[in-house]
Amino acid sequence: MSLLNLFAKKKKEFKAFCNITREPLESGFGYLLTTAQVISSKKYWDLVMTEPETLSYTISHFNNQPSGTQMRNMIFEKYASVAKPWMISDSVINYFEVDKNEARNNAKKWWESEGNYTPETAGPASQTLDNSAFNSWKDYAVLEAGRGRAVVKR
């Protein structure tokens, strides 16, 4: 090994994680979705609004406590405002009604560019969905998601 090789900086390996599950993705795998595609899923919102970190807000919301509804609105806004595309793992891709071949091809482009590829339709959902669709998904996420898992006081 030459002296130059000892001091040469190794190129850091490009890594990725699923934006939803946080599981590591093997190079070249996964699916690339836009924020509009992500927030346009009832299954996704049912998952988000019943996670351990958010379930208390869901229960509060369904018990007619405004603070729970307010927090659910903030959660929706947080996810809906993401400008970058989302890398999604095989374990959750079925939560979304998308063209999986297109999403896989976009992921390959993303990997090849080391995370710099962005589909034309990427951006915050409020800018890429029409108002009617955006508001419909917001209503579901804030007002209905997780209803079946919330324990409501009677």
Asked whether residue 4 is assigned to any structural domain, the reply reads no
Stretch (H or E) spanning 69? helix 66-80
Identity of the residue numbered 153:
K
pLDDT band at 5 (very low <50, low <70, confident <90, very high): low
Asked whether residue 48 is assigned to any structural domain, the reply reads yes
- As given in the structure block, the two tokens for residue 103 are 């999403």
The DSSP secondary-structure symbol of 71 reads H
Q: Please give the residue that has the higher pLDDT: either 5 or 50.
A: 50
Asked whether residue 5 is assigned to any structural domain, the reply reads no
Asked whether residue 105 is assigned to any structural domain, the reply reads yes
Query: 25 in helix, strand or coil?
Result: strand
Asked whether residue 10 is assigned to any structural domain, the reply reads no
- As given in the structure block, the two tokens for residue 3 are 């002296």
Domain with 89 in it = 16-149
Query: 152 in helix, strand or coil?
Result: coil
Instruction: Compute the average pLDDT of residues 83-90.
Output: 97
Instruction: Compute the average pLDDT of residues 48-68.
Output: 94
Asked whether residue 114 is assigned to any structural domain, the reply reads yes
Cβ distance 111 to 27 under 8 Å?
A: yes
Please state, in angstroms and rounded to a whole number, the distance separating the CA atoms of residues 29 and 107: 7
The count of domains in the chain is 1
| Neighbouring C-alpha atoms within 13 Å toward the C-beta of 3 | 0
Asked whether residue 41 is assigned to any structural domain, the reply reads yes
Encode pLDDT of 128-149 as tens digits. Answer: 999 999 999 999 999 999 998 7
Instruction: Compute the average pLDDT of residues 38-55.
Output: 96
Say if residue 4's pLDDT is above 60: no
Say if residue 73's pLDDT is above 60: yes
Asked whether residue 54 is assigned to any structural domain, the reply reads yes
Q: How buried is residue 154: exposed, middle or buried, by Cβ count under 10 Å (0-12/13-18/19+)? A: exposed
